[in-house]
Amino acid sequence: VPERVPAAEQFEKAARGDRAALAYLISAVERGGDLGHEVARHATARPQHAFTIGVTGAGGSGKSTLTSALVEHMRDQGCGVAVLAIDPSSPITGGAFLGDRVRMHRHTSDPAVYIRSLATRGAEGGLAIATSRAISVLAAAGWPWILVETVGVGQVDVEVARRVDTTVVVVTPGAGDAVQANKAGLLETADVYVVNKADLPGADQTRRDLETTLHLAHRRPDAWCPPICETIATSGAGVAAMWGCVRSHAEFLESSGVLRARREQRRRGELRDAVLLGLRRYADAIAGSAQWAAIEAEVAAGVRDPEAAAAELLRLTVGVTGR
Ligand SMILES: Nc1nc2c(ncn2[C@@H]2O[C@H](COP(=O)(O)OP(=O)(O)OP(=O)(O)O)[C@@H](O)[C@H]2O)c(=O)[nH]1
Ligand SMILES: [Mg+2]
């Protein structure tokens, strides 16, 4: 672990390719606290020119294999790329990440590839906020392309998936993935669909299911029509075409102004998250006060409406005069 040096200096080192400095900065924002906030402030102040791509889908759909194949393809194209593997499954052992590591191994000696996992669901504000901050650090350290692998079946994971510019949703043949992803609201988030494991039977049916879903869906306000790619991640087949789809979407975002709007929207969301987090902490801090205890006792006794009591507490403590 590098010693405590100012964040600005760590960023200079990280931008020159110092892996330890980069790891230190990401760990800092992952943990949060004063140092994490200092690092996040520096990251925001630095120039950032990264484009972020999320790869999401159900467990076992081939996201890691696909990400690895994509990294290989991007390297052939001369792109430097950082990979964030978001693994909420096991904060203790790192679970699936170890498996990912093995497949990613061939990239680890390449100075233009950086791979890192985030597993701390317990970090302040949760995984989605940690993801945004880690992305910001990577961008501020000069990484031009950032891939984020998430398991995208739960609501929280969909939240994480929304922290990127282009969202790639991976489904597999025959598993009812398309339906499942649709239920989770993931298909609405998708900018590019990938039917991975196209070597297995049922790939055509899955493509048709997706086309039907797309056809039935409301027209997107941004007028982008998400393409459907087929890949065999294990052999790399279809990965070049998929990269082409991602590039097309990136160009669309840029030329239409949607990129700017989306990023602004995302930052608004981050502000809201931070305010909510602050309010929650504040509420925890004052929960033991006499004022709180008195009102709480009335609510507990059933003589006072909880909502009205909450409004009163907010007015008295934060000065909020909501409903
Ligand atoms: N037949 C076939 N198998 C594949 C393909 N892509 C990945 N697999 C296999 O599917 C399994 C899961 O692949 P992963 O890349 O670990 O999937 P994942 O979505 O990252 O899994 P989690 O991170 O655990 O959610 C592995 O055994 C892969 O070798 C493919 O295109 N065809
Ligand atoms: Mg994986």
321/191: higher pLDDT? 191
Pocket test for ligand 1, best of 89, 104, 234, 239 (most atoms within 8 A of CB): 234
Q: What pLDDT sits at residue 57?
A: 86
Cα(202) to centroid of ligand 2, in Å? 22
- DSSP category for residue 220: P
Give this prediction's pTM. 0.88
Highest mean pLDDT: which range of 96-105, 186-195, 222-231: 222-231
What is the CB neighbour count within 10 angstroms for residue 296? 16
Structure tokens, 101: 């590591």
Cα(246) to centroid of ligand 2, in Å? 20
Sign of CA dihedral 122, 124, 125, 128: negative
Q: Which of 60, 103, 130, 76 is nearest to 270 (CA)?
A: 130
DSSP 10-39: HHHHHHTT-HHHHHHHHHHHHH-HHHHHHH
Three-class HEC string of 247-297: HHHHHHHHHHCHHHHHHHHHHHHHHHHHHHHHHHHHHHHHCCCHHHHHHHH
Q: State which H helix or E strand residue 56 sits in.
A: strand 51-57
Res. 84 pLDDT band, cuts 50 70 90: very high
Q: Does the Cβ of 232 fall within 6 Å of ligand 1? A: yes
Which residue's CA is the closest to the ligand 1 atom numbered 9? 62
Structure tokens, 78: 């001369």
Cα(234) to centroid of ligand 1, in Å? 8
DSSP 63-81: HHHHHHHHHHHHHHTT--E
pLDDT tens track for 141-155: 999 999 999 876 666
Which segment of 25-34, 40-49, 173-182 scores lowest on mean pLDDT? Answer: 173-182
CB 202, CB 237: distance < 8 Å: no
